[in-house]
Chain A
Amino acid sequence: MSLKSLNIPVINFVGNRKYALIFSTILLAVSIASIGFQGLKFGIDFTGGTLIELGYEKTADLEDIRSKLTSANYSGANVQYFGSDTEVLIQLEPQATTSAQLSSSIIRMLGDGIDVRRVEFVGPKVGEELTNDGGLAMLYALIGILIYVAFRFEYRFALGSIAALVHDVIITIGIFSLLQIEFDLTVLAAILAVIGYSLNDTIVVFDRIRENFLSTRHIEPGPIVNDALNQTLSRTLMTSLTTLIVLLALFYLGGEVIHSFAGALIIGVVIGTYSSIYVASSMILALGISKEDILPSEKEKKEIDARP
Chain B
Amino acid sequence: MNHYAPWKNTLVVFFLFITSLYALPNIYGSDLAIQITGTGDYVVEENDLEGINNSLVENAIDFKSVELINSNILIRFNDSKSQLSSKALLKDTLSRNYVVALNLAPSVPQWLSGLGGKAMSLGLDLRGGVHFLLEVDMEAVVSTSIDRYYNELRTLLRKDKLYKKIRKEDNLLVASFKTEEQKNEAKKLIKNDLFDLRIVEGSESELEVSLEMSSNAQKAAKSSALNQNITTLRNRVNELGVAEPIIQQQGSERIVVQLPGVQDTARAKEILGAVATVEFRLVDEKNDVQTAIQSGKIPSGSKLYKFKDGRPLLLKTTVISTGENIVDASSSVDKDNNPMVSITLDNAGGRTMLETTKEFLGYRMAVVFIENQVETIIENGKTVKKRSKTQDIINAATIQGTFSNRFQITGLDSSREARNLALLLRAGSLSAPIEIIEERTIGPSLGADNIQKGLISVLVGFALVLVFMGWRYRVFGLVANVALTLNLITIVSILSMLQATLTLPGIAGIVLTVGMAVDANVLIFERIKEELRSTKNIQKAISAGYEKALLTIADANITTLIASLVLFSFGTGAIKGFAVTLSIGIITSMFTAIIVSRAMINLIYGGKKIEELSI
Contacts and interface: CB of A to CB of B under 8 A. Distances in A.
A90 interface: no
B313 to A, nearest CB: 29
A247 B512 contact: yes
B63 to A, nearest CB: 28
B464 A118 contact: no
B586 to A, nearest CB: 9
A255 B519 CA distance: 26
A43 interface: no
A293 interface: no
Interface string B558-583: 11111111110111101100110010
Q: Do most interface residues of chain B lie in helix, strand or loop, or is the interface mixed?
A: helix
A145 B563 contact: yes
A19 interface: no
A104 interface: yes
Contacts of B435: 99, 123
B335 interface: no
A200 B557 contact: yes
Given A99-B436, A254-B508, A261-B505, A104 B566 contact: no
B449 interface: yes
Interface string B340-371: 00000000000000000000000000000000
A200 B436 contact: no
A141 interface: yes
Contacts of A134: 570
Interface in A108-134: 108, 115-126, 128, 130, 133-134
Contact of A117 (B445, B534, B561): B445
B452 to A, nearest CB: 9
B566 A144 contact: yes
Contacts of A101: 269-270
B386 to A, nearest CB: 8
B446 interface: yes
A242 interface: yes
B441 interface: yes
Interface string B534-572: 100000000000001001100111111111111101111
Given A121-B439, A199-B559, A189 B450 contact: no
B570 A133 contact: yes
Interface string A52-72: 010100000000000000000
Given A117-B443, A249-B464, A255-B449, A196 B559 contact: yes
A125 B572 contact: no
A208 B555 CA distance: 12
A185 B574 contact: yes
Interface string B520-533: 00110010001001
Contact of A231 (B378, B443, B511, B530): B530
Interface string A175-203: 00000000001101100110111011101
B472 A238 contact: yes
A265 B508 CA distance: 11
Contacts of B441: 116, 118-120
B441 to A, nearest CB: 4
Size band of the interface chain B makes with A: 35 or more
A253 interface: yes
B483 interface: no
Contact of A192 (B265, B439, B468, B566): B566
B175 to A, nearest CB: 36
A207 B443 CA distance: 48
A186 B515 contact: no
A174 interface: no
Contacts of A118: 441-443, 446
A100 B560 contact: no
Contacts of B555: 152, 203, 207
Interface string A94-111: 101111110110011000
B339 interface: no
A271 interface: no
A243 B522 contact: no
B608 interface: no
Contact of A119 (B440, B464, B548, B565): B440
A193 B512 contact: yes
Size band of the interface chain A makes with B: 35 or more
B383 A103 contact: no
B519 A239 contact: yes
A64 to B, nearest CB: 21
Contacts of A141: 562-563, 566-567
A285 interface: no
A24 B381 CA distance: 38
Contact of A255 (B377, B450, B465, B512): B450
Nearest to B377: A97
A189 B376 contact: no
Contacts of B569: 137
A136 interface: yes
Contacts of B505: 186, 189, 258, 261
Given A1-B534, A116-B441, A249-B457, A242 B518 contact: yes
A193 B266 contact: no
A204 B549 CA distance: 9
Contacts of B516: 197, 200, 239, 242-243
B461 interface: yes
B438 interface: yes
A195 B563 contact: yes
B332 to A, nearest CB: 25
Given A145-B559, A253-B457, A245 B464 contact: yes
B246 interface: no
Nearest to B509: A193
B564 A193 contact: yes
B462 interface: yes
A204 B556 contact: yes
B518 A189 contact: no
Contacts of A117: 442-443, 445-446
B453 interface: yes
B439 A103 contact: yes
A253 B443 contact: no
A216 interface: no
Given A144-B566, A239-B522, A185 B575 contact: yes
A76 to B, nearest CB: 12
A200 B556 contact: yes
B515 A196 contact: no
Given A249-B511, A255-B449, A145 B562 contact: yes
Interface in B474-520: 504-505, 507-508, 511-512, 514-516, 518-519
Contacts of A11: none
B375 interface: yes
B566 A242 contact: no
Nearest 4 interchain pairs by C-beta:
A196-B563, A246-B461, A249-B461, A243-B515
23 contacts: A55-B443, A96-B377, A97-B377, A101-B270, A108-B266, A115-B445, A116-B443, A119-B441, A134-B570, A148-B558, A149-B559, A185-B575, A196-B560, A197-B516, A204-B523, A243-B512, A245-B464, A249-B460, A250-B457, A254-B504, A258-B454, A261-B505, A261-B508
Interface of A: 1, 6-8, 53, 55, 94, 96-101, 103-104, 107-108, 115-126, 128, 130, 133-134, 136-137, 140-141, 144-145, 148-149, 152, 185-186, 188-189, 192-193, 195-197, 199-201, 203-204, 207-208, 211, 231-232, 234-235, 238-239, 241-250, 252-255, 257-258, 261-262, 265
